Amino acid sequence: MTSPSTDQRDLAALPIGMFDSGMGGLTVLHECLVTLPGENFAYVGDTARFPYGEKSREELELFAQQLTAFLETVPVKLVVVACYSATSAALPLLQERFSTPIVGVVMPGARAAVQTSRYRRIGVLATEATVASGAYPRAIHSLDGGAEVYQQACPGLVSFIEDGDVASQALADAVRGFTAPLKEKRPDVVIMGCTHYPLIAPMLQRFLGRDVTLVNPATEIALEVEGILQRQGLARADDRVGSYRFYATGDVEAFRTIGARFLQMPLTRVRKLSLDALGTLVAP
């Protein structure tokens, strides 16, 4: 068997880059840390411009390019766009403009839903930007042209969760309101189409009913990243447990405190990333 080249070994040692509008992508990072314990990670939370779900396509394309450009300066060997709004708006553009392999979060969840659904009736709970993009119906229909897809936008839901509220009556009322019209469509599978939503999965399950299977794309994304690294010979061979570091465009201390709840691990290495610095990489 041919030994990996020095260049491959050097690339394999680099971290995996990941970005999101805030804390939600940490649920994706959590799954990646479990699935790929030997890998290093660099995560950017764009908390100064949170939330992304209410932004225009043009804004999301700009933000996504800036964050990807920054991660290439780290440098990283692969970028995970751990945000559904950014993936929906900008993934093809990023893959065209950057040389680093880039993975989005929509297709893995769509694939899992199609493989899980018995009756080909699939629901999607997501932000306004993700729903408006039509990314999930396109991804699902590319895998199963006959599947019925029902989308439900959930404006404001991310803000509850980002603020650490996962159990209040106000949140429960909001979730009930968002799930009711979707439940009427009688899907047998519902995709949690936002990285924040797995943190309220028990509440979503309660209002959707026990006959509905919830799909958490974060698990599928981790498996997809693992497969890409193995196929490209970029998996880290070192048996040591990998490290992780963080960058936040907003308040660093708030990111460290709230982020630990999302990641379920301590966040010690958090650095400030200024929007001015991002603007020098890709200008508006």
Q: Estimate to the nearest angstrom the gap between the alpha carbon of 180 and the chain centroid.
A: 25
CA dist 106 and 44 (Å) reads: 19
Supply the angle between the helices 26-35 and 252-263 in degrees, to the nearest 10.
50
> Residues near 133 by Cβ (< 8 Å), separated by ≥ 6?
57, 85, 88, 89
- DSSP structural state of residue 170: H
- Just list the catalytic residues: 83, 194
CA dist 264 and 221 (Å) reads: 18
| The one-letter amino acid at 134 | G
**Residue 100 to residues 103, 157, 160: CA-CA distances in angstroms?**
10, 32, 34
